[in-house]
Amino acid sequence: MTIINSKIHFRVAAGVTSGSLLFASLIALILLFTSYQSHTETIRQSVKEAVYASGVDKLLIAQLEIGLDEDIQQSLDLLRVITDAKLAKGTSLKGNFSSTATAYSPSGLDIHTVLPIKTSDGKALGRIDLYHASDNLFESVISPLKYPVLMLLVYSLLVSILAFLIVSKILTQPMKQIAHQFHQITPGEDDRIDTPQGHEDNEISDLVGDLNTLLDSVQETIENERQLNVKNEALSRKFRFIFERASAGIGLIDGDNRLVVANPALMRLFGQTVIAEPENFKNADFFYFFNDKSEMQDLLEEFRTKPGNAFTSIDILLRRKLKSPDRWVHCLLSKVEDLDDPDTTLLELVVYDITERAEREQNIIFEAEHDPVTHLLNRRAAMSKLSAGLRQAEDTGRYFALMMIDLDGFKNVNDTYGHDAGDKVIIDVAKRIRQFFRSSDVVSRWGGDEFLIGFSYSPEYESAVTDIATDLQTKIAQSIDIGHEQSATVGSSLGISLFPQKSKNLHTLIEQADSAMYYVKNNGKNFFHFYTSDTPKMQTR
């Protein structure tokens, strides 16, 4: 800007000078043209006046009529103003005119005068083209114009100098002064530009006022931004304090399902179960931290496809180190936009440790579904599991067997050794039965010393139920340590009903197994019996 200001008066002066010179040149051309036209017309008039005053025109007419060409030339030579002449005569003229031996070739700049030849009665006989040489014409025309043109050039130069001085004084110097003050002001400070002396009431003063208004606006904006930055920094410190001190784990998951941000609480939650070094969290695979990766993976895939900024949650078990206790967490997920890449959706993660709550809930559910002594399924839970087992067997084309077991001799143990010994017998038998069957099979304490078992088997294995019943009775009949160096032995009566051979209804199957078991009890005990249509029916208790 300083360079521009330092040259502006030169530019204005150059512009004024160019305009002045152009104007002077135009005036000079106009004067030259006007002078030339005037001088030319004067010469033409002089030629005609000389011809008419000397009477040469009348002499030419007489000489042309009788054909005296040489006399025509001699007559024309009498006129000093004529450099050359050419005759263009009519058909009635007998004379013939030709130039002298030293022929003259007229140029385009010579002054050409046409002299008509007429009789006394006005009849046109022809014309004579008279030429006046232009050798001294331009000298005669230009000489009077030299002084006026020189004066125009001098005036133009004086105007340029004057414009240079005026622009420099009135415009350039104040602008340089304003620019210098403007560059010295630091944005946000209270300093302002002073109006140059002598320019208090013109456009320079208005410019200074506008610049000062702009500086006021800039200062106000900077002050507002400064205050806003202070507030943002304070708010940022609060959020960072919350982020770093929060008891809940907070993190950010990118589009590739990698954990890119994690607060200390989240690092502790995951570190207690999987890793302990903070640097290992960088770009860690999010699914790695969970015991069931597929469960979390399916949740995230489904959640990302949902429109809108919805949220979802899940209670899930974290992956744990060997011999570490289970740790349950509640994960709350919501969508956030990536400011660096708007096309990418990030997932905000908030994780709460719910291990104690989950354990309490599991204990409540376990107690509601299991027998407090044997920890086997109770009757209500067993009914639900058996219903699901029958549906699965029907869907897969497998058979399903129900076994009702009643312990033989259990009452004698209770009466002889007491209820504590009876409980030990029940607990030990329950463990043997539980270990004998698969985890997918249903093993329940039906009540007292009765157990109800349900399991599926392949139709191709026809002796499966018989083999299992035989081995199970052998297992139950083994001696049981009841403490104080004492042992007890109990037998078992088994009643068996089959799905779908005997019925497809669960309640009916249970009644059939119960009837078959009582048939065994009433017929010697300690063997198993398959329900048939001949088996006496008993009311299920």
Q: pTM of the full predicted structure?
A: 0.48
Query: CA end-to-end span of the chain, whole Å?
Result: 106
CA dist., res. 312 & res. 333, Å (int): 5
172 DSSP 8-state letter: I
Domain ranges in the chain are: 246-360, 370-530
Q: Is there a shared CATH topology between the 246-360 domain and the 370-530 domain?
A: no
CA dist., res. 288 & res. 268, Å (int): 15
Residue 141 CA, distance from chain mean position:
79
Exposed (0-12), middle (13-18) or buried (19+): which is 394, by Cβ within 10 Å?
middle
Check residue 338 and give its pLDDT: 67
Place of tokens 């008419």: 52
Which pairing describes strands 528-530 and 491-499: parallel, antiparallel, or unpaired? parallel
Check residue 4 and give its pLDDT: 45
Q: Which fold has domain 246-360?
A: Beta-Lactamase (3.30.450)
Tokens standing for 341? 């890449």
Q: What are phi and psi of 40, to 5 degrees?
A: -60, -45
- Cα separations in angstroms, 332 against 171, 318, 354, 404, 488: 70, 15, 13, 46, 55
- Cα separations in angstroms, 306 against 209, 295, 300, 345, 392: 58, 17, 10, 12, 32
Q: Which residues pair with 112 in a beta bridge?
A: 131
Q: What are phi and psi of 314, to 5 degrees?
A: -160, 145
Low-confidence ranges of the chain (pLDDT < 50): 1-6, 79-81, 89-103, 273-276, 540
Which CATH homologous superfamily contains domain 370-530?
A: Reverse transcriptase/Diguanylate cyclase domain (3.30.70.270)
Check residue 467 and give its pLDDT: 93
Neighbours of 446 (CB within 10 A): 23
Helices 203-245, 173-184: inter-axial angle, 10-degree rounding: 20
Check residue 34 and give its pLDDT: 82
Contacts 24+ apart (CB under 8 A), 248-252: 248/350, 248/351, 248/352, 249/329, 249/349, 249/350, 249/351, 249/352, 250/348, 250/349, 250/350, 250/351, 251/348, 251/349, 251/351, 252/336, 252/346, 252/347, 252/348, 252/349
CA dist., res. 12 & res. 18, Å (int): 10
